[in-house]
Amino acid sequence: MTYLSKSQLAEFEQCEKRFWLARHRPELATVEDPTVFAAGHAVGAVARSNLPTGRLIEERDPQAAIAATSEALAAPDRAPIFEAAFLHAGVYVRTDILEPTADGWRLAEVKSSSSVKHYQVADVATQVWTARGAGLPLTEAVVRLVDNSFVYAGAGDYRGLLKDVVVDDKLTTLLTDRESVARAAGVTAAGEEPAKAVGDHCADPFACPFTGHCRAGLPPGPDFPVTLLPGRAGKAKAAELMAQGITDLRHAPRESLVAANELRIYDACKSGEAFHDREAMAAATAAWAYPRSFLDFETVGPAIPRWAGTRPFQAIPFQFSCHVQGADGALAHHCFLDLSGVDPRRGCAEALLAVLGDRGAIVTYNLPTERGVIIALAEQFADLRAGLLACAERLVDALPLVRAHYYHPQMMGSYSIKAVLPAVVPTLSYGDLDEVNDGLAAQRAYLEAIDPGVTEDRRRTLHERLTAYCRLDTLAMVELVGTLCAPQASTSSTHTS
């Protein structure tokens, strides 16, 4: 017999077409990155380890799991139960944790986030409704989250990592509609593929793996959609324009746009030419003293801290790239990358001070990120604090200059360095990089490289690819500043390194 699961009801509530496709045409889904689920599994393992007397229901067959759950619930020791199984009205759920209370059981849904999300409450509601319908006396329901104030002491001691948020008061409405949701999902599952247009729901609360299938038969969209308009105000304006039947930004009345950043994007799209206030950019960067150090960090922030003295989700720098440019344009590249698996922060801080010296502007692209890393290192290492804080004072930011004074139609509304670089320096491309070509890929590569099971050959390959990626980030900054901010137009500002 086929049952509906908690995750399937969540899919149905996001989009009935996604739900139907997952059941009937799973081959149409794009392959999801398994590392997305790794954090959740790791947090779940910690939650279980904090309850050493707990019993795991290992049976995978639903009927066998339900029988094992009944046996565990009736056991005189009333130990915590992991993966308890319940069936009610055609819905089958496995609960993360059941803990005994004075007059029943507490249900804990374990999540790797640090705050409760609306869809997590819906997940809990489905489990509570099913378990109670199966006869379980539930007295409380909680979402067990990561406490981001927890500081890891080391030695595998994660007591205190997780905290409970009681969600009973949020379940009332959801519990009353679980039966109707389950019934509607059952009807949909038995029918033909639902007709559903693509929309915001395709990415809320999760990116749908069937978006490619749903878009396959659609006519091409406008070259420059009104959704390119930036920020909340731009989103509201885009909705207003689409309500008027205007989907291409070039067809919007110019007078309907007010903000300077909206007008820059509009004018560039309309003319097909870049907006570039070279004089303003040159004036703004004239005070950036040489040698200029173009700096970029790569960080990792695991939900479960790996190193003593760190917190959940803390940005730990494992790599940096720095191109140092002299007043004559001469360029030297320096990098730091620690794949040993030990805490990389001390080595990173020492290498950083050696490269940055005590003079010259330190150029970033989104300054708060680099400043946050440097300040955190200064707080961690008292003997390096003065030097690191002095470096933080020398930071300058190229991103606001690009936002205010440059826009190319090719950027398609994005000011990320990966969007700006091809428009300004077509000869440089992140598309030429192998495997590691964005920050998330860098994090995955780092975590793989420090895994004790990785081969030395694979670790060397990952080292090369991480180095190439981070090097391009800072070389891109050099080229953007040199090309966009030079008093006179030039094709390149550097002696490449």
pLDDT of residue 497: 45
d(CA 398, CA 367): 8
Expressed in percent and rounded to 5, the helix, strand and coil fractions of the chain are 50, 15, 35
pLDDT of residue 1: 66
- The maximal CA–CA distance of the chain, rounded, in angstroms, is 83
Q: What is the dihedral of CA 445, 450, 455, 457, to 10 degrees?
A: 60
pLDDT tens digits, the chain, 497 residues: what are they? 689 999 999 999 999 999 999 999 999 999 877 776 888 999 999 999 999 999 999 999 999 999 999 999 999 999 999 999 999 999 999 999 999 999 999 999 999 999 999 999 999 999 999 999 999 999 999 999 999 999 999 999 999 999 999 999 999 999 999 999 999 999 999 999 999 999 999 999 999 999 999 999 888 899 999 999 999 999 999 999 999 999 999 999 999 999 999 999 999 999 999 999 999 999 999 999 999 999 999 999 999 999 999 999 999 999 999 999 999 999 999 999 999 999 999 999 999 999 999 999 999 999 999 999 999 999 999 999 999 999 999 999 999 999 999 999 999 999 999 999 999 999 999 999 999 999 999 999 999 999 999 999 999 999 999 999 999 999 999 999 999 999 875 444 443 44
d(CA 162, CA 179): 31
Cβ neighbours of residue 322 closer than 8 Å, sequence gap 6 or more = 293, 294, 295, 296, 333, 334, 335, 352, 355, 356, 474
CA 226-227-229 angle, to 5 degrees, is 80
pLDDT of residue 492: 42
Centre a 10 Å sphere on the Cβ of residue 246 and count the other Cβ atoms it contains. 17
d(CA 108, CA 381): 38
DSSP, residue by residue, 30-57:
PPPPTHHHHHHHHHHHHHHHT-TT-EE-
d(CA 162, CA 145): 5
pLDDT of residue 38: 85
Fill in the amino acid letter for 370. Answer: E
- Between the two ends of the chain, the Cα-to-Cα distance in Å is 64
Domains identified in the chain and CATH numbers: 4-190 (3.90.320), 222-273 (no CATH), 280-485 (3.30.420)
d(CA 221, CA 239): 16
pLDDT of residue 37: 80
d(CA 107, CA 252): 53
- Token pair, residue 292, equals 């200029």
Q: What is the DSSP letter of 430?
A: G
DSSP, residue by residue, 236-267:
HHHHHHHHTT--BGGGS-GGG--SHHHHHHHH
pLDDT of residue 424: 97
pLDDT of residue 2: 84
pLDDT of residue 217: 80
- Is the peptide bond preceding residue 368 cis, with omega within 30 degrees of 0? no
